[in-house]
Amino acid sequence: MATDPQPRPIPIDPLHDERWELLNHVASSASFQKSNRAREFLLFVGKRSLRDPESPIREQEIGSEVFGRPSTYDTSQDTLVRVQASHLRKKLQQYFEEEGKDETTIIEMPKGSYTLTFHPRHPMDAETVEAPLLPVWPRRSLVLAWCACGVLAITCAVLAYQNVGLRRRAEVGLGKQPMVDAFWRQLFSNPHHTYLVVADGTLMVLENQIKRHVSLTEYERKVFDRMASDGIRDTALRDLTLDVVNRQFTGIGDANLAHRLGLVSAANEVPMDVILARSLALSQLTNSNLILLGSRRANPWVGLFEDKLNFQTVFEEEPRSARFVNKLPKSGEKPVYEGRWSVLGYCRVAYLPNVKGFGSVLLISGTDVQSTDAGGDFVSSEAWIGRLRSALGVKSGEPIPYFEALLEGPVVNATVPRFELVALRQH
């Protein structure tokens, strides 16, 4: 595997400052060895922080100088710097917990700022890093949200865990999967960056209360207050719903699935960022490769592709039900594939071009969370990719065409232990 070139040393400052040496040492460490982006980001903000600590470092400046964005690009539409800043914070934390555990000075980049801070390590630091970095929410809000909404959600801090795991398959060698690897490289080894977009767990809390879907336009504009005001009469319930929906969560199933797909991505040297559906910008949607996890109800971006598909999602609020409608049934197929909660689930896996015709989109949408997870197994399993190639009539060495597949499997103890390919379309 090709490795990034060694980092360029920071020019010697006329005034001797040991922080220069520490910054270079961290940038050259194993934690940053395989991440040229994070290393360049660190060196840039490090130089600026030490040479001009009173001058704020702007997001647009980083995007232009480090990531090659135009100097006038719109940071409200392009979140690359914010995503990479989150990764850099995690890498700094990882370094000072592992390789740099004996460093007497710690480097951090506080949230909400791109200026680095340097401070002495305190004896308590070694103890506190062992505790999981989970935010502390008001107890009343958590209890009420659990009772009223019945949501099992996990904070984006869990995504930090799965992002750390992106290297694991490549490092430990989890077995060769030539057909899976070829499929992955076909989809994502192109000039466009890849984003894995996990479902928005708290969005469904709002939908449960207002008894309708949130449209993509409403979701993109984040008009949650207006929707809650129009759809929830009870003031206390409205406030509680907004308190929950304004937090960013995804389910543990999506976090685990993102972790698993991240390993395949890392094994094939495909750079990939994991983001919440709410953080996806329109510019990323139209100019990137995408993996969209979850149904249209939990990930409204999926709705952009529904009209292009034969198996279309239908979700009804009362009584709550989820199914896939088969627009043009073939012989032996059902016109409707109805999910049954905790009993039977379906997952649609689709490979399509991006909305502008370049780049790739992989949709993995289940009638429930467990079925979406089964879709992740489908695209990361050598046996199933082999069956898919056979069913599509793809010969050795040929690429897999655009397709959509429908999977069916029993739900047992909140998992789908096995599934079958029940329908397939080539686009």
Compute the chain's Rg from CA coordinates: 23
Question: Helix crossing, 157-164 with 80-97: angle to 10°?
Answer: 70
pLDDT digit string (tens) for the chain, length 427 residues:
444 444 444 444 434 578 888 888 888 888 787 777 888 899 899 888 888 888 889 888 898 888 888 888 888 778 888 888 888 888 898 888 888 888 889 999 888 789 998 888 765 444 433 333 333 334 344 334 443 444 333 444 334 434 444 444 444 344 579 999 999 999 998 888 999 999 999 999 999 999 998 999 999 889 999 999 999 999 999 999 999 998 888 888 888 899 889 999 988 888 899 999 999 887 788 889 999 999 999 999 999 999 999 999 999 877 889 999 999 999 999 999 999 988 999 999 999 999 888 899 999 999 999 999 999 999 999 999 999 999 999 999 899 999 999 999 999 988 899 999 999 999 8
pTM > 0.75: no
Dist. CA 274–CA 162, nearest whole Å: 9
Dist. CA 129–CA 127, nearest whole Å: 6
Instruction: Catalogue all structural domains in the chain, each as residue range(s) with its CATH number.
Output: 18-128 (1.10.10), 151-221+245-426 (no CATH)
The SS3 assignment for 232 reads: coil
At 399, list the tokens. Answer: 């690429």
C-alpha distances in Å from residue 39, one per residue of 5, 66, 78, 89, 110: 11, 10, 20, 12, 17
Nearest CA-CA partner of 232 in 200, 215, 203, 207: 207
